[in-house]
Amino acid sequence: MIVNSSDGDCDWRWYGRRSGRKLRPQRRVLMERLLPKLKIADPDGHDLVEIKSQFPAGKRSIWMEIGFGTGEHLAGLATRHPDVGFLGCEPFVNGVAALLSKVDAAALHNIRVFDDDVRLLLPRLPEASIERLFILFADPWHKVRHHRRRITVSKNLDAFARVLSDNGTVIFASDQHDFAAWSLANFLDHPAYTWTARCRADWTEEPKGWITTRYQRKAREVGLDPVFLTFRRCMRSCVTRGGKVLNSPSDQCI
């Protein structure tokens, strides 16, 4: 993961490895031949990435998953919803290769990939261009001094709010309850989001249409029960913080 420098400038620093085990020959071929066809080009300067034009015509909306792991959830959604364009963001080579294998096997045409840290892409996406955002089982960064690396820090929530459409949805899941509680507090403190829960089952039971991954099944086998949090992006006309509208272009950098 990469984070800003302590002085707030966009000085990107990477934490963790980009690759793990050596790729199988078939997956190396997919990285060489299929990824260039699906990859969102690295954002350059201040140019916007016209995300809808990256997909075949006729996609009714764009859904985005940040940190898609091996791509089980993303590929499953893409299979169920061929009329939706799916943007998957994952910096780790092995995860990208695993997703490409699923895309190739199922002949999916509605997935695009950004194979770097999502915070490089978010400022370049058009405002209100994403209808649904998934943040599933992200790194909890347990140590207090590492909490600023968490994906749900306030500045990231600002960036998500900018790219989400009015009444768009954020679906967050984690089997680390302290991280889930910390993230919930940040979302509740942010004026752009409303937590949709009305009863306990809304955060203890899987949302409708949920795709259970191998990671989630293994976690449950060792007694880790996930929390599911769903947030609604408030209408822009209603969102201010200290009299300042949060969706202005000057608030893009995180």
For residue 170, the cross-strand partners are 133, 231
- Give the span between the Cα atoms of 10 and 23, in whole angstroms: 32
Closest by CA position to 121, among listed 43, 41, 235: 43
Task: Please count the other Cβ atoms lying within 10 Å of the Cβ belonging to residue 168.
Answer: 23
Residue 120: both structure tokens together: 């490089």
Identify the CA nearest to 250 among candidates 123, 164, 165, 119.
Answer: 123
Residues 120, 47: contact at Cβ < 8 Å? no
Whether 83 is a known active-site residue: answer: no
Q: Which residues partner with 133 through β-bridges?
A: 64, 170
CA-closest candidate to residue 194, choices 241, 148, 229: 229
Please tell me which residue in 47, 104, 139, 158 is annotated as part of the active site.
139
Tokens of 24: 């199988």
Q: Per-residue b/e over 36-68, b at no fewer than 16 CB within 10 Å? A: eebebeebeeeeebebeebbeeebeebbbbbbb
- Residues annotated as catalytic are 139
